[in-house]
Amino acid sequence: MRGCVFLLRLAGFVRNRRFVPYNDAMAPVYLDNNATTRPAPEVVEAMLPFLRESFGNPSSTHPLGQAARHAVENARTAVAALINARPQEVFFTSGGTEADNFAILGVLAENPKKRHIVTTAVEHEAVLRLCQRLETQGYRVTWLGVDRLGRLDPAEFEAALRDDTALASVMHANNETGVIFPVERLAQISAARGVPLHVDAVQTVGKIPLDVTAAPISLLSLSAHKLHGPKGAGALYVRRRVRLRSLMMGGHQERDMRPGTENVAAVAGFGRAAELAMATMHDDAPRIARLRDRLEAGLLEQTRGAHVNGDRANRTPNTTNIGFETLEAEAIVITLGENGVCISAGAACASGSLEPSHVLKAMGIDPIIAHGGVRFSLSRYTTESEIDETIHRVPPLLERLRKLMPAAT
Ligand code: PLP
C-alpha cells in the first residue's frame, strides 16, 4: 500500500510534465518492442500513397478504387506468405485483439451446442478477458496452468479436451516472458479430437518462422504493429473448411467475413512489413537473441537480486523478463522511462494495491520477485550500443530506487 502511494506520487510527477512527440534527437533507448515496434521506413513509404493521391475505396470499380484493391490483395499475398498460408485464408482485421475475438466468438457462433473452451491462464487480455466474460454467459472454461518456467504440458492440454469442447485457444509465445508454447503438438492433439485450435501468434509472427501447413492449426491471429508495421491492422488466418461466423453485419468486404471499408494504408503497410520480416528474420533473430543475452547477463551481473522469469531455453529471441527483488515493477518502468530507457511491466497499480502480473502469478513466481518483474523487448533496430548504454544506466537507477522504496525495507 505504501509502495503504491509512492508510485502514484512518481506517476503524478510524470503526468504533470508536458509531453511532446519524440524526435530522433531525443530518442530514448526503446526496449518495449512487445508493446509496439517502430514502423519500418519502407512501411511508411508504402503507406503514404494511400493517404495522399491513391485514396480510392477498394470496393469502387473505377481505377482509383482498383488501385486500392490491388494494394489490399498484394498485402494479403505477402501476409499469407509469411505464415505459408494461402491468400484466401487471410482476413484483415483492425489488429490482434479483433483477430482473437473474431476467432473465438466466430467459432462459438457456428457451434452453439458446444459450450466448453480450453485456454491458458497466461493468455493476453484479448483472450483472457473474453473467456472470462464467456464464463459469465454460461460457457465452461478450462484454464490450463503453467510450470515455474512458464511452460505448458501437452498432456494436460489433451486431458482438458471434451466432447463438448467448441475450441481451444493457446498463444504461440507469451507477451511478458517470450516463452514459446508447443502449438504444433497441440494442433495435432486437438485435430485428433476434432477440436479447432486458435493460436494467438501476435508475439511470434515475423520473429520466428511459422508455417501453418506444418500442423493443423485452425485459426491464427496476427498484428502488424508488432512487426514494424502500423497500428490498427491485423489479420486472422482461417484454415480452409474451418467454420467461422462473421461478427459484424455490413458490406461485403473480406468475402463477407469482416464488413467495413478497408484501412488501405495500414493494410498496405502490413503487407510491406510482412515482406521485410520474411527477408530479414533469418539473420535478425540470432543477432537480436545475442543482444538480449548480453543485456540479461549485464543486468544480472550488476544488479542485486535479479532473476530471469521464464524458460531461457525456449523463448522468442527478443524478450527477457527480469524480476528485481523487493522493487515494484511500475516504479522501475517510470524511473527508467524518466532516464531514457523505455520498458514495460506486467504488474499494474490498481485500487491501492499492487498486483503482480497474472502471468508471473500463474508461474508461481515468489511475490517478492514477481512484484518487480519487468520486460525488456528488443527489435531489428536495437543496437549494441543501446544495449551497452542500458547495462550502464540501469543498475545505478535501480540501486537508487531501492533506497527510496518503502518496500525495500
Ligand atoms: N495478443 C498478444 C499475445 C499480444 O501481445 C497483443 C498485444 O500486445 C495482442 C494480442 C493484441 O494485439 P493488438 O494490439 O494488435 O490489438
pLDDT in tens, 251-297: 999 999 999 999 999 999 999 999 999 999 999 999 999 999 999 99
Q: Is the pLDDT of residue 84 over 70?
A: yes
Provide the pLDDT for residue 409: 42
Site residues for ligand 1, CB cut-off 6 Å = 95-97, 100, 124, 126, 171, 175, 200, 202-203, 223, 225, 234
pTM value is: 0.94
Asked if 297 and 141 touch (Cβ cutoff 8 Å), the reply is no
Q: What range defines the domain where residue 31 resides?
A: 2-38+282-408
Residues 169 and 299 in one domain: no
**Based on the domain organization, do 110 and 24 belong to the same domain?**
no
pLDDT digits (tens, 9 = 90+) for 69-78: 999 999 999 9
**What is the rounded CA–CA span in Å between residue 161 and residue 118?**
7
Asked if 30 and 84 sit in the same domain, the reply is no
Indicate if 155 and 298 belong to the same structural domain: no
Same domain, 47 and 184: yes
Q: Which atom of ligand 1 is nearest to the CA of 234?
A: 15
CATH number of 27's domain? 3.90.1150.10
CA of 394 to the centre of ligand 1 (A): 27
C-alpha cell of residue 177:
516472458
Name 70's Cβ contacts closer than 8 Å, sequence gap at least 6: none
Whether the CB-CB separation of 102 and 236 falls below 8 Å is answered with yes
Q: Which among 295, 242, 229, 308 is positioned nearest to 36, based on CA atoms?
A: 229
* Least confident stretch, 22-36, 343-357, 377-391: 343-357
pLDDT tier, 405 (very low <50, low <70, confident <90, very high otherwise): confident
CA of 163 to the centre of ligand 1 (A): 30
Count other C-beta atoms under 10 Å from residue 313's C-beta: 9
SS3 breakdown of the chain: % helix, strand, coil, rounded to 5? Answer: 45, 15, 40
- Give me the pLDDT at residue 9, please: 56
Q: How far is the CA of 134 from the centre of ligand 1 (A)?
A: 19
pLDDT of residue 408: 43
Q: Are residues 87 and 205 in the same domain?
A: yes
pLDDT tens column, 224-259 = 999 999 999 999 999 999 999 999 999 999 999 999
Residue 116 and residue 153: Cα distance in Å, rounded? 19
181-191 residue pLDDT tens: 999 999 999 99
* Nearest CA owner, ligand 1 atom 9: 96
**Catalytic center residues:** 349
The domain boundary, picked from 277, 300, 329, lies at 277
Cα of 404 from ligand 1 centre, angstroms: 34
**For residue range 360-369, what is the model confidence (pLDDT) as tens digits?**
999 999 999 9
